[in-house]
Structure 1
Amino acid sequence: MSEDVGARPAWWKEGVVVYQVYPASFKDSNGDGIGDLPGLISKLPYLRSLGVEAIWLGPHYASPRKDEGYDISDYKSVYEPFGTLDDCQVLIDEAHSHGLKILFDLVVNHCSDQHEWFQESRKDKANPKRDWFHWKPPKMDENGGMSPRVPPNNWRAEFGGSAWAWDDATDEYYLHTFDVSQPDLKWENPAVRQAIYHDAVRFWLDRGLDGFRIDTANRYSKYTDFPDAPVTEPDMLWQPAGQLMTNGPRSHEYIQEMRKEAFDAYDCFTIGELPSTPVLENILSYISSEAKALSCTILFDLMELDHTDGRYPLMALPWKLSDFKRLTAFGQQLAEPQYAAHALSYLENHDQARSVSRFASDALEHRTVSAKLLATYLLTLSGSIIIYQGQEIGMINAGKDWDIEAEYKDLCTINTWREIKEDAEKNSDPSLLERGREGIQLTARDHSRTPMQWDSSHNAGFSTKEDAKPWTRVMESNKEGINVAAQEDDPESTLNFYRRMLALRKEHKDVFVLGKFDLHDKENEQTMIYTKTSQDGSRVALVALNFTSEPQAFDVPSSLKDKSTGKLLFSTVGGNSEGELEAYEARVILY
């Protein structure tokens, strides 16, 4: 714990680049096919060489792994295949010795049904921990009866089906807004909150942790009358209820209390997820300095642009670049001084498929330049940035030959695919099956959870043993040059482009990290043009991005035409500051 926290400015205030590690898939040190903490420790020099400043480690806690660690059975223990509590302490200390901050996932909207708290809660209705979870009897019919047995409301769980699960032992339902194995904790109970602060927060901050990425931070407060959700899908039994599952009446109170009782005593950076919160005023109510709640937020709207979060959450949707630009501009508002907040941007994480495949082109001839296009976009935005493992080498989605039923492992994918198959059969609609397959091949979370590609060997260098069988399939793209070893000594590689971009971001911090974002040509569906202006107005960077496979016209905005000739900072295709933008070219000019 830092003794002089209040005496110095927060380390993250002027923008920090965070590298997310998905522990099961990063580096396997003992040959069992599962990534682990010693493997991550061995790669800290590599992470430092990139130029990132912090690591966000995905859930490493004890867990049955029904939802890849987001179902925690003990907040103070480590998932055994990942290592030990001692390994975790070594990781924290070694990260610091390499000049890296480290953040853990904080998953406290729900826990695993194997957690001791829930095991006690379900023993009987008189148990002291019964009120630590949301238990409800079946809904009464109009005659006051319970036959047939019906859940308390019509909410659909995020992974499909009812958000309520029946428990035979005590003849009541419990709430699970995600999987049935993830019962929601009852934050309305003060004893629950204190146990969370003790076991899940201060336990790790006392060991030197620098902060948390907070899972579903605005779900803690429930509307305890549990009203039915509006019927938006008439032929579905369970209705999407995002607006009723988030931003409940005590949401701000709980986060402010957690900050006061846990975060504020440490030099702690908090990145909170705020799903179903699309309005600027509501976002600021969580992250402005006046809110005294979160440092910043992970926004969802841009990342949900190409798929639906309704009936089938992985169903692909056509998207427009004008909407991509609009949502970028919306997020960049949070960096403007008048809002006293902090912006954070990302294109990939463990919940998102690979950005090259989604927003540019993963065709062999376009992969590298597409990855550089998206890197330019991301690393010229103001505020903090998240880079996900493998993004820096341009990893792409799994091949179309992957069998969804045999090789996709994510709970959301499995449940969505099952519902799509059932509905396709029930409605004799083979086109639904094909559209569902295409959506999963584009947007499933599985694509980002495959092993990190370190070299072109059989298992991509992920495991120390060549014959080890990784827990999930390795992508063939490691043999096509999408791996660290192939790119390390290639000055034109995606990896070295990320290194240069991260260095440029620091060199021109006044423009890229702290500068004002202004979007130009908002309705153009082929190119994205924006400027970044230093706070004193003395320097301007013009960023021009071609999101198509064809050359596109490019005009300098009129506001810059009176300035002296700008200097081409770089072009991803070796071009100049004038003329058409080549396919997927990114060009940055400094004035």
Structure 2
Amino acid sequence: MQEAWWKRSTVYQIYPKSFHDTKGTGMGDIQGIIEKLDYLKELGVDMVWLTPIYQSPQQDNGYDISDYYRVVPAYGTMEDLERLISELHDRDMKLMMDIVINHTSTDHEWFRQATSSIDNPYRDYYIWRDPREGAEPNNWVSKFGGSAWSLEDHTNQYYLHLFDKTQADLNWENEKVREELFQMMNFWADKGLDGLRLDVINLVSKAQSFPDDHDAPDGQYGKEYYTDGPRIHEFMHQMNQAVFAPHDLVTVGEMSSTSLAACQQYTKPDAEELDMTFNFHHLKVDYENGKKWTDGRLEFIKLKQILSDWQVGMQEVGGWNALFWCNHDQPRIVSRFGNEGPYWKESAKMLASVLHMMQGTPYIYQGEEIGMTDPKFTKLEDYKDVETHNAYMALRETGMAEEQVLRIIQLRSRDNSRTPMQWNDTENAGFTDGKPWLKVASNYQDINVEKALRDENSIFYHYQKLIRLRKEYAIITHGDYEPLCMDDERIFCYERRWNGEKLLVVANFFGEEAEFSYPKAQTAKAEILLSNYQDSPSEYRQIKLRPYEAVIYHSKV
């Protein structure tokens, strides 16, 4: 059986609004992406993932779609998008588009029709319930805070929205809804795109009894009744047969609060559902008591355990992981688990090395490859994100001091990753000639693409080498994963073995020296494929690892 091309590939995520502006509007555009394709080709990525570019009122930056068949005019035209696909293919790169089919904007024509009367055929495209004793139909809460139900005054019924009130959940129990969505996805596949990223796709099947939830951790009521729901695998297989398989699309599902068992089922080849999944458990290890809007510290042992469990578990069934530290919803990883100070470069490279040598398909989020950091905004008005503003209000209502709330938002806001891409040291980091829609991080004169390309020891070139290693060494794709030193409180270490070869990854996750002792009685000398220090030892029986030092060893077994 031929190996799937995407198993040795690396994907680069672009947030179009913040990537590159060619029109002076302060927002990025499709032409701006086209102008930077040679940069991405130099980095070595195989596929570009675009977050949504469809018509939208932008209440949630495009994840609230009002017309699936039109491009946001601020980004460009359909012709611009078709040219982007062509230009990518000319460079032997591919395009993955982001699709949001759990919900639509309340500005969508379907929802407008649905609210016109209870008898309208589009009414059943969404999820409606009568008031219960003058209040919401149940106690489910939105992932953006508050109730998951909003009252529609004209018809005096509540509609479900697991996210913002302007994002109404679609009724996947209605076969016509599924047919319309599959038809729309085939429209885009026919344009020549190569893959789809499916937003919160594991939430589309809800328990139809819509019961109250009395046993939810941290007050996240309803989650167990819509996460990996009763018909989810049926729906995924239908979508695969109707859209993915006929077009040979590579697919990745964003899985909210999912389980390893569910993702094994989504991605095992004979299930014919998805190629790979994003899960977020490893990015909740600094949430205090599981709550996002806190200033918790990294639980390092827990991080190692989660990543290792998913490596081993997915391998057991032939499933596949999407590997990532960063995306448009997460703070910058070098600010979060690394070091923004004297070990900025070393820590960014270490984090990349640990992730990229695992089994799966790596995803790089724009700016990650040059070590972009959180912007450290100090005022609420600097943030544009709806979730951030909701969190601010909720935290203040608990009586928390303004200073502490702002510190927590500074750590957790989704806007941390959405600041404009830093291309050079000119005004606005070369992102725009206008006023940026979101402030540029203040360190753009020190951290930018032009500077990274001039420095042969930069983070950029480290990422470039990791991408190249995945193509050159089949063991990275196929090797078994064995975690080592799981109780060590400073060192992340694992081995990969395949076809008479061994990879050993040893990384110091912290800013002090750490002692590493190889726990096996085997030869402990190897070729160094990559290190973030220039003089790491080739003998690894006993090593004193410097701050954030990471070494990738390769040997014959």
TM-score interval w.r.t. the shorter chain? over 0.9
Supply the distance in 2 between the matched residues of 1:562 and 1:10 (Cα, whole angstroms): 34
Q: Distance in 2 between matches of 1:290 and 1:366?
A: 45
* 1:520 counterpart (484, 490, 509): 484
- For residues 491 and 334 of structure 1, the distance between their equivalents in structure 2, rounded to whole angstroms, comes to 38
Residue 571, structure 1, aligned to residue 523, structure 2? no
Distance 1:129 1:227 in 2: 24
Q: Unmatched 5+ residue regions in structure 1? A: 1-6, 140-145
Instruction: Give the secondary-structure state (helix, strand or coil) at the position aligned to 1:439.
Output: helix
Equivalent pairs counted in the alignment come to: 551
TM-score with structure 1 setting the length: 0.90
Aligned to 2:349: 372
* 1:533 Cα offset (Å): 1.5
1:180 corresponds in structure 2 to 165
**Partner amino acid for 1:158?**
K
Residue of structure 1 equivalent to 2:364? 387
> Who is 2:390 aligned against?
415
- In the other structure, the counterpart of 1:474 is 440
Cα offset, 1:569, TM superposition: 2.7
2:300: which partner in 1? 321
Which one of 84, 87, 93 corresponds to residue 94 of structure 1?
A: 87
| Post-superposition offset of 1:518 | 1.1
Aligned counterparts, 1:211-230, within 5 A: 211-230=195-214
Residue 8 of structure 1 deviates from its aligned partner by 6.9
Q: Match of 1:459, SS?
A: helix
Pairwise CA distance, 1:52: 0.8
Matched, 1:347 2:325: yes
2:431 pairs, out of 462, 472, 476, with 462
DSSP 3-state at the match of 1:479: coil
TM-fit CA distance, 1:347: 0.3
Distance 2:201 2:243 in 1: 15
Which structure 2 residue ranges, 5 or more long, are not aligned? none
Q: Which amino acid aligns with 1:571?
A: S
**For residue 468 of structure 2, what is the amino acid of its counterpart?**
A
Q: Deviations over 1:69-103 (max 9, x none)?
A: 00000001001100011111111111111111110
The 2-side partners of 1:184 and 1:87 are apart by 30
2:340 is matched with which residue?
Answer: 362
Pick closer, same or farther for the CA change 1:260–1:392 going to 2, 3 Å.
same
Kept in 2, the 8 Å contact 1:154–1:239? The answer is no
- Does 1:74 pair with 2:74? no
Matched, 1:562 2:517: no
Q: How far does the alpha carbon of each residue in 1:168-213 deviate from its partner, in whole angstroms, 9 at most, with x for none?
A: 11111100010000000001111111111112x1010001011111
In the aligned structure 2, how far is the partner of 1:505 from the partner of 1:102?
20
Question: Relative to structure 1, is the Cα distance of residues 15 and 505 closer, same or farther in structure 2, using a 3 angstrom cutoff?
Answer: closer
Partner residue, 2:408 = 439
Q: Which residue of the other structure, out of 149, 152, 169, is the alignment partner of 1:167?
A: 152
Could you list the per-position Cα deviations for residues 287-329 of structure 1 after superposition, in whole angstroms to 9, with x for gaps in the alignment? 111221111100110012212696x632232232111111111
Identify if the C-alpha distance between structure 1 residues 335 and 170 changes in structure 2 by more than 3 Å, giving closer, same or farther: closer
Query: What is the Cα deviation at residue 334 of structure 1?
Result: 4.9
User: How many Å separate the matches in 1 of 2:283 and 2:328?
Assistant: 12
TM-superposition CA deviations, 1:25-51 (whole Å, max 9, x none): 001011111000000011111111111
Question: Does the CA-based 8 Å contact 1:21-1:58 persist in structure 2?
Answer: yes
Contact 2:267–2:276 (CA<8 Å) still a contact in 1? yes
- Tell me, yes or no, if the aligned pair for 2:530 and 2:551 is still in contact at 8 Å: yes
Relative to structure 1, the CA distance from residue 334 to residue 20 in structure 2 (aligned partners, 3 Å threshold; closer, same or farther) is farther
> Corresponding residue for 2:254?
273
Distance in 1 (CA, whole Å) between partners of 2:292 and 2:221 is: 10
Partner of 1:507: 472
Whole-angstrom CA distance in 2 between matches of 1:541 and 1:260? 38
Percent of aligned positions that are identical: 37
Question: C-alpha separation between the residues in 1 aligned to 2:104 and 2:330?
Answer: 22
Call closer, same or farther: CA 1:264–1:569 in 2, change over 3 Å: closer
Q: Which residue of 2 aligns with 1:4?
A: none
Q: Distance in 1 between matches of 2:5 and 2:179?
A: 27
What residue identity is the alignment partner of 1:478? Y
8 Å CA contact retained: 1:313, 1:416 = no
Does the residue aligned with 1:126 lie in a helix, a strand or coil? coil
- Deviation per CA, 1:345-376: give whole Å up to 9, x if none: 1000111110011111112x111111111111
> How far did 1:557 drift?
3.0
Look up the SS of the partner of 2:443 in the other structure.
helix
CA distance in structure 2 between the aligned counterparts of 1:195 and 1:421, rounded to whole angstroms? 42
> Is contact 1:529-1:544 (8 Å) kept?
yes
- Maintained 8 Å contact 2:95/2:195: yes
Q: Report SS of the residue matched to 2:311.
A: helix
Please say if 1:65 is aligned against 2:58: yes
> Residues 556-583 of structure 1, C-alpha deviation per residue, up to 9 Å, x if partnerless?
231xx43262123332122322531101
Q: Deviations over 1:6-26 (max 9, x none)?
A: x976432x3321000000000
Task: Evaluate the alpha carbon distance shift between residue 308 and residue 243 of structure 1 in structure 2; reply closer, same or farther with a 3 A threshold.
Answer: farther
From 182, 192, 211, the equivalent of 1:208 is 192
Separation in structure 2 between the aligned mates of residue 511 and residue 320 of structure 1, nearest angstrom: 29
Give how far 1:531 is off.
Answer: 1.2
Aligned to 2:240: 259
Q: CA RMSD in A?
A: 1.7
Whether the 8 Å contact between 1:15 and 1:385 is mirrored in structure 2 is: no
- Shift in alpha-carbon separation, 1:170–1:308, aligned structure 2, 3 A: farther
How has the CA–CA distance of structure 1 residues 517 and 9 changed in structure 2, closer, same or farther, with 3 Å as cutoff?
closer
Matched residue of 1:315: which SS?
coil
Secondary structure of the equivalent of 1:20? strand
Indicate if the aligned counterparts of 1:321 and 1:524 stay in contact, CA closer than 8 A.
Answer: no
Secondary structure of the residue aligned to 2:173 is coil
Distance in 1 (CA, whole Å) between partners of 2:278 and 2:443 is 29
Partner SS state of residue 416, structure 2 = helix
Question: Are 1:120 and 1:130, in contact at CA under 8 Å, matched by a contact in 2?
Answer: yes
Residue aligning to 2:180: 195
| 1:393 Cα offset (Å) | 0.1
Instruction: Report the secondary structure of 1:183's partner residue.
Output: strand
Q: Is this contact kept in 1: 2:227–2:257, CA < 8 A? A: yes
Residues 410, 126 of structure 1: CA spacing in aligned structure 2 closer, same or farther, 3 A cutoff?
A: same
The answer as to whether partners of 1:314 and 1:413 remain within 8 angstroms in 2 is no
Q: Choose which of 281, 294, 299 in structure 1 pairs with 2:279.
A: 299
Amino acid in the other structure paired with 1:397: D
Aligned-partner Cα distance in 2 for 1:473–1:244: 39
Matches of 1:17 and 1:309, distance apart in 2 = 33
Per-residue Cα deviation, 1:455-482 (whole angstroms, up to 9, x for no partner): 011110112x2xx1110000012112x1
Kindly tell me: are residues 117 and 8 of structure 1, through their superposed partners in 2, closer, same or farther at Cα, counting changes over 3 Å? farther
Q: Deviation of residue 62 (structure 1)?
A: 0.3
Residue matched to 1:3: none
Partner of 1:285: 265
Distance 1:303 1:93 in 2: 35
Q: Which moved more, 1:299-308 or 1:214-223?
A: 299-308
SS in 1 for 2:168: coil
Pairwise mapping of residues 546-557 of structure 1 onto structure 2 (< 5 A)? 546-557=508-519
- The one-character-per-residue Cα deviations of 1:142-180 (angstroms, maximum 9, x if unpaired) are xxxx3xx21000011000110000111111110001000
Instruction: Give 1:391 deviation, angstroms.
Output: 0.3
Distance 2:275 2:33 in 1: 26
3-state DSSP of counterpart to 1:82: coil
